[in-house]
Amino acid sequence: MYDRHKQWIYVLLILGSCPGSDLTCNRLVAQSGNELGRVESDETTRLISAELPQWKIWNGSNRQQELKLEPKSVLRWTNPGTGRVYGDLYIWTSGGRPEVAMSLFKAWEPANGFHAEMHSLSLAPIDAERKGQVMWRPIKPGVELKPLADAAVPEVSPARRLIQMRGLANEFTAVLTDFRRNNSGERHELRLLTQPLFRYRSTEPTLIDGAMFAFVLGTDPEMFLLLEARQSEGKSGWQYGLARMNNDSMTALHKDQEVFQFERTTGDDRLHAPYVLMSVPESARPD
């Protein structure tokens, strides 16, 4: 019998035999809850590890370049406010720059299966296959870079540019109207993770430096903020781009002024949309 099955039996026995009013039993129930979380988290990790090799992604209209999957997750996340869910966020890059954000997760309670969630961060079209079948083909850039006209000129040293980027990120706020648990929608002010998920330089000559930040609910990334120091016509300056990681409506603000509104998605054109959420089959456990 797999160790996982033994762990589940232990959890079920504890939950089934303990009266809720007994202090010792309450502690055992808490321990069993922790054990259940560990079992589910471990199984989610196994599913993700099996799923990642099934994908290939390219950028450019004619698959000009195959993207590189960065080997480590940039964020292990949960969202206790919506249930028992575990996921990992991965980045696909081209020449060092992030082109696709991919989150793989399993929702255990409420039971909603295993999913892939992706957003193009590319300035070019994307083509994604799973097991040789085209699953996603956004034909437009995934982000629109806009200048931060009032920002100071990028510093010379990478360390000082990181300080600049963290300061610039703090000028942004984000709000989510969440329909996952309430049909009327629940308003959440998202929390900015103060450290970037991914810091990058690129082989692209105009890109000096960049960082990818996340606005989260729990630790679940709901919106991404890209900050890039770019050079154009002999001058350098800061640009920003925004990307969603939730199909509900969201608003991004800069210095309390609305700069972008993400409308709630319908999923009608999942193949070509820059953001996609899809269920994927769970791999069988090895014998």
pLDDT at 82 (0 to 100): 86
Task: Return the pLDDT at 97.
Answer: 97
Examine the pLDDT at 86 and tell me if it is beyond 80.
yes
16-20, 134-138, 231-235, 237-241, range with the lowest pLDDT: 16-20
In tens, the pLDDT along 24-34 reads 544 444 455 57
Return the pLDDT at 66: 97
**For 54-77, what is each residue's pLDDT tens digit?**
999 999 888 989 999 999 999 999
Q: What is the pLDDT of residue 246?
A: 95
Per-residue model confidence as pLDDT tens digits over 163-197: 999 999 999 999 999 887 777 788 999 999 999 99
Q: Convert the chain into a string of H (helix), E (strand) and C (coil).
A: CCHHHHHHHHHHHHHHHCCCCCHHHHHHHHHHHHHHHHHHHHHHHHHHHHHHHHEEEEECCCCCEECEECCCCCEEEECCCCCEEEEEEEEEEECCEEEEEEEEEEEEECCCEEEEEEEECCCCCEEEEECCEEEECCCCCCCCCEECCCCCCCCCCHHHHHHHHHHHHCCEEEEEEECCCCCCCEEEECEECCCCCEEECCCCCCEEEEEEEEEEECCEEEEEEEEEEEEECCEEEEEEEEEECCCCCEEEEECCEEEEEECCCCCCCCCCCCEEEEECCCCCCCC
- Where are the domains positioned within the chain? 3-46, 52-279
At residue 137, the pLDDT reads 96
State the pLDDT at residue 3.
Answer: 46
Looking at residue 22, what is its pLDDT?
54
pLDDT value of residue 21: 47
pTM: 0.88
With a cut of 90, say whether residue 1 has pLDDT above it. Answer: no
Confidence of residue 285 (pLDDT cuts 50, 70, 90): confident
